Amino acid sequence: MKIAFFDAKPYDIEAFEEPAKNAGIKLKFYETKLNSDTVRLASGCEGVCVFVNDEVNAEVIDGLCELGVKTIALRCAGYNNVDIKHAYNKIHVVRVPAYSPYAVAEHAMAMLLTSIRRIHKAYIRTRDYNFSLNGLTGFDLHGKTVGVVGTGKIGKVFINICKGFGMNVICYDKFPSEIEGAKYVSLDEILSESDIISLHCPLTKETMHMIDGNAIEKMKKGVAIINTSRGALIDAEALLEGIKSRKVGAACLDVYEEESDIFFEDRSGHIIDDDVLARLISMPNVIVTSHQAFLTREALSNIAQTTVDNLIELEKNGSAQNELCYRCGKVDDCKKKSGEKCF
């Protein structure tokens, strides 16, 4: 099996080479992202492997089908960059639903602690032998209320971390599950009662810009907002206004709405055309990391092995446990059963 691997980084190549070789899969690595201009690079391949900022829209899907590509293998959990509905009955789409919830949840907490205890500022100061403590006053997490939006695997791990700090945990999810030590409330209650809000939900039409100007207006003054999920959950311009008005006391962002042409690349020495991102980064109470939360050795290993397993399962059975289908759970007359093909 030959797979065109797009948006390949050195850490991807290192993680994927051995499990792919062991499974008899030949990977053709491309640094470029998949889009309508690069789709021809998949010629002669049975599948493509893509990441969060590859464009897998209807035009690209049609282009892949014309080339005889049978599978789109996402090496991530989110799939908002894939036109799942257009893919149906044309090309199979698989993903990695869970790779290391600990990696993302721990990164979210690391960003929060760095921000509220001013660790990033102290690090820069002491390297210049400036040992003043002025301007470094933070606050305790113990006893604070954290609102967790999304209680899937990552959200639950983050909740457990927060409980370890002695925080009061409230949460919101469209599909609540029983979580010891956490209380489900409405989204409005999350916004109005939380000292810290952490987003751990997927990007859908319903969650697009769920944190906008109206939502920020309902929040406590000085609220800290963490986003390690998808950038478009937050209206970046509204967030910037919230920071300028002092309504938002801290923002910890591992994702950004317009990140696709900026993140994952070295832009030092270049002028950033995105004025909103440039202004956010310039704010003293904003920490931005470039979609780094997933990046641990354990997560990369799990992502690589699950992706390879998905490809082998599809080739062997014509279906896979981690296959995505827009019909699943939405079409009353769908006759598909577990283990059966979607098409």
| Catalytic residue of the set 95, 107, 200, 291 | 291
pLDDT in tens, 162-218: 999 999 999 999 999 999 999 999 999 999 999 999 999 999 999 999 999 999 999
Q: Collapse the DSSP code of 101 into the 3-class scheme (helix H, G, I; strand E, B; otherwise coil) and give the result.
A: helix
* CA–CA separation, 148 and 322 (whole Å): 26
Q: By the 8 A CB rule, do 104 and 303 touch?
A: no
Residue 329 lies in a domain: no
| Catalytic residue of the set 55, 257, 259, 323 | 259
* Residues whose CB is less than 8 angstroms from the CB of residue 124 and which lie 6 or more positions away in sequence, other chains included: none
Q: By the 8 A CB rule, do 260 and 57 touch?
A: no
| Catalytic residue of the set 200, 230, 257, 323 | 230
* CA–CA separation, 306 and 96 (whole Å): 6
120 is catalytic: no
Asked whether residue 119 falls in the same domain as residue 164, the answer is yes
* Residue 220 DSSP class: P
pLDDT in tens, 245-291: 999 999 999 999 999 889 988 999 888 899 999 999 999 999 999 99
86 is catalytic: no
Task: Calculate the average pLDDT of the chain.
Answer: 94
* CA–CA separation, 198 and 169 (whole Å): 11
Q: Which of 138, 190, 154, 200 is nearest to 169 (CA)?
A: 190
230 is catalytic: yes
User: What's the structural domain count of the chain?
Assistant: 2
Query: Which CATH number characterizes residue 129's domain?
Result: 3.40.50.720
Q: Which domain holds residue 74?
A: 2-99+297-317
% of the chain exceeding 90 in pLDDT: 87
| Token pair recorded at residue 94 | 């698989």
Asked whether residue 82 falls in the same domain as residue 185, the answer is no
* CA–CA separation, 143 and 160 (whole Å): 15
Residue 148, exposed/middle/buried by CB under 10 A (0-12, 13-18, 19+)?
A: buried
